[in-house]
Structures are given as structure tokens and as C-alpha cells.
Amino acid sequence: MKKGLTRRKLQEAKFFLGLLKPNYTKEQKFDFFLSAFVSAARSVTWVMRSEYSDTPGWSEWHRTRQLDSAEEQLFKGTTIVRNRTQKLGALKTLMGATVAGVYLANGDEVAANNIFKQAAQDGLPAKIGGSSGKYTIELMIEGRPVVLYAREVQFDRRLEEFPGKHILDVCKRYYDSLAKLVSECEARFGV
């Protein structure tokens, strides 16, 4: 069997990890790149098993290698995410946004804030577009479209498997754990 396949799979995961942050505000792109990252990252240990399982001592090392509780939770959660995206359907992150400096085109900031508060309380879906300093927020209020503008929007993406955790941090921690595992394996059993 050709050597270096595990490292190559890890590089694939790193490639998709690198695409997450620049696409964080682009819902569909982000979700697709996240799905690709999770799939590639989750495959690292499977490729490692295929590459090293016949290497003397590897099976014992792999079986007895201990994960700390945080790492174990991270690996279990990403396995659940991968299974969900591979077997149940496309990955979709949960997204929230914090908006500041809301105004209407006519400058009535009080009316804009009242509309936005009502929309937030009623759970109306909003479509946010634009870019830094010039965001648009499209809502349906009493059956008619209303466009608000905002100076600042902060997005927050989450996965239900990691409540209260920032998804970019989860992915980085998962990648780092896999990179450590691959480096340990290569140091012990060669490339």
C-alpha cells in the first residue's frame, strides 16, 4: 500500500477548514464547505486504519491511545454530524445575527428599531445581505416587504451537536486533534 495517504487526507481536511472562515456569512457555501470538512476530517482515522493496520504494533497503539474527555466529546460530536450529513441529508447550520445601527431609507431610526424589535419578538425570518457598514435586512411586516438598513451585523453559526460552541472553534480543535494523532502515528510507525 502506498504511504502518506493519511497525511494527504489530513491536508484535504485542512483545505476545507481554510474555506470556512472566508465563507462564514455565505450560508449555503459555508454549509457545503463545512460538510466537506467534516467528511474529510472524519475520514482521516479510517484512512489511517487502512494505511497502518498491517504495521506491527499499530493496532495495539491505536486501541490503547487515550483521549481526554474534551477530545472524546469532540470526536463523538463530529461523528454524529458526519453521520447526519452522510445519511440523513444536507448539513444546515443554525444561524443567528446581532444587528446594530438599524435605520430606514428615510432616516426614521425609531420606526426602524420598532419594526426590528417586533420582528425579533415574533420570530419573523429575515434575509440579510450587503457588506460591512451597508447591510440590508428584508422582512415581511403585515404582509408587505420592509427593507431596513444596518451599519453592523455579527453572524453566529452553530451546530446542534455542539450547543454554545462557536463552529469555527470546534472545527479548528477537531483538526488540531487529528493533526496531533497523525503526527504521533507517523513519528512512531513512519510515513
| Rounded percentage of the chain residues whose pLDDT exceeds 70 | 88
Residues 133, 161: Cα–Cα separation, whole Å: 33
116 and 177 in a single domain? The answer is no
Tell me the per-residue pLDDT of 128-180, one tens digit each, with 9 for 90 and over.
877 777 888 887 777 777 788 888 888 788 888 888 888 999 999 999 999 99
Answer yes or no: is pLDDT of 18 > 90.
yes
Domain total of the chain: 2
CA 136/CA 116 separation, integer angstroms: 12
Q: Are 37 and 84 contained in the same domain?
A: yes
Same-domain check for residues 55 and 138? no
Domain boundaries, position 116? 100-156
Tell me: do 26 and 81 sit in the same domain.
yes
Instruction: Please name the helix (run of DSSP H) or strand (run of DSSP E) that holds residue 14, with its range, or none.
Output: helix 5-20
The overall pTM is greater than 0.85: no
Do 40 and 112 sit in the same domain of this protein?
Answer: no
Instruction: Say yes or no: 108 and 137 in one domain.
Output: yes
Task: List pLDDT tens digits, range 22-72.
Answer: 998 887 899 999 999 999 999 999 999 999 999 999 999 999 988 888 888
User: Long-range pairs for 165-172 at CB < 8 Å and ≥24 separation?
Assistant: 167/20, 167/34, 167/93, 168/20, 168/21, 168/24, 170/74, 170/77, 170/78, 171/17, 171/20, 171/34, 171/37, 171/38, 171/41, 172/17
Who wins on pLDDT, 43 or 109?
43
Predicted local distance difference test score (pLDDT) of residue 112: 64
- In terms of domains, do 116 and 145 share one? yes
Residues 20 and 74 in one domain: yes
Same domain, 53 and 108: no
pLDDT of residue 48: 95
Q: Is the per-residue pLDDT at 83 higher than 70? A: yes
Is 125 in the same domain as 177?
no
Residues 149 and 168 in one domain: no
Asked whether residue 59 falls in the same domain as residue 139, the answer is no
